[in-house]
Amino acid sequence: MNEGWIAIAGLGPGSEAMITPQVSDALARATDIVGYIPYVARIAPRDGLTLHATDNRVEIDRAIHALTMAADGRRVVIVSSGDPGVFAMAAALFEALEAGPQAWRALTIDVLPGITAMLAASARAGAPLGHDFCAINLSDNLKPWDMIEKRLRLAVEADFAIALYNPRSKARPEGFEKTLRLLQQICCDDRPILFARAVSTPHEALRIVPLTQATPDMADMRTLVIIGSSRTRLIERAAGPILYTPRSAA
């Protein structure tokens, strides 16, 4: 049996054109694809390939399954949307690796980067991440709300542009509501906020509004939100506005 390996691959934000050649090559050589149901659905079936689609919130089980198959000589690709190292499966795989059998550490494991939603959304709007920025996951599944609130406060104090992942779901809509209230209280200016939904897909929609006019219903789990810094600017033009943050700071 051939030596098994694992590739943790980012499928990008949605468009097939944004999947890197490196990821496409790994998918072509794989015997098994492992991932969350909608991400595995993006992979075309073929002879010799087994698709292992699982529900959300079972990342460690998914990682253990992939490691076990690779140890048995399978060529396994774990798929994530965007980039696998940004709030995705790479960290889960390494958590399972660290806690698992010593033999797993001899496996060939590669992390194959992808275009994450934060970068795709920024590019569509212009360059709102053109100066210092940070990314915060608003999901409180794996961390308490008080930690999220602390990080939001410190990010505003440091005057970062802020990319917000997983802003709002049907199960926990209150998180983004609390986030907007907090930002509207602590920001002393009406900085722009970008709502970028389903970037690079046929359902793409971009909206830029002042922070004071932002409402919770402008976001869902397919939306990437970017809060501008105090220096972020909007260039109005007939072809559509450009949002950018200048490279220098006074």
Q: Which two tokens stand for residue 207?
A: 């909206």
Asked if 206 contacts 196 with a C-beta cutoff of 8 angstroms, the reply is: yes
Q: Bigger pLDDT: 50 or 140? A: 50
| φ/ψ (deg, to 5) at 9 | -115, 140
What is the H or E stretch that residue 157 is in? helix 145-157
Query: CA 206, CA 218: separation in Å to the nearest integer?
Result: 10
Contacts of 190 (CB under 8 A, 6+ apart): 210, 211, 212
Residue 168 pLDDT > 90, yes or no? Answer: no
CATH for 118-244?
A: 3.30.950.10
Asked if 242 contacts 126 with a C-beta cutoff of 8 angstroms, the reply is: yes
With a pLDDT cut of 90, the percent of the chain lying above it is 90
CA distances from 145 to 134, 175, 190 (A): 18, 8, 25
pLDDT in tens, 29-54: 999 999 999 999 999 999 999 999 99
Residue 188: per-residue pLDDT: 86
pTM of the model as a whole: 0.92
Residue 174 pLDDT > 90, yes or no? Answer: no
Alpha helices in the chain (DSSP H): 21-29, 37-40, 59-71, 89-99, 117-125, 145-157, 174-186
Residue 1 pLDDT > 70, yes or no? Answer: no
Contacts of 46 (CB under 8 A, 6+ apart): none
Residue 22 pLDDT > 60, yes or no? Answer: yes
How does DSSP classify residue 11?
-
CATH for 5-115?
A: 3.40.1010.10
Residue 17 pLDDT > 90, yes or no? Answer: yes
Q: Bigger pLDDT: 168 or 117? A: 117
The amino acid occupying position 126 is G
Residue 100: per-residue pLDDT: 97
Q: Cα angle vertex 124, ends 118, 127, to 5°?
A: 70
Residue 90 pLDDT > 80, yes or no? Answer: yes
Tell me the domain boundaries of the chain. Answer: 5-115, 118-244
Residue 46: per-residue pLDDT: 95
Asked if 35 contacts 61 with a C-beta cutoff of 8 angstroms, the reply is: no
Residue 220 pLDDT > 70, yes or no? Answer: yes
Query: Identical fold at 5-115 and 118-244?
Result: no
Residue 57 pLDDT > 80, yes or no? Answer: yes
Local confidence band at 2 (pLDDT 50, 70, 90 cut-offs): low
Q: Which of 57-71, 96-110, 172-186, 218-232 has the lowest mean pLDDT?
A: 172-186
How does DSSP classify residue 23?
H
CA gyration radius, the chain: 20
The amino acid occupying position 231 is R
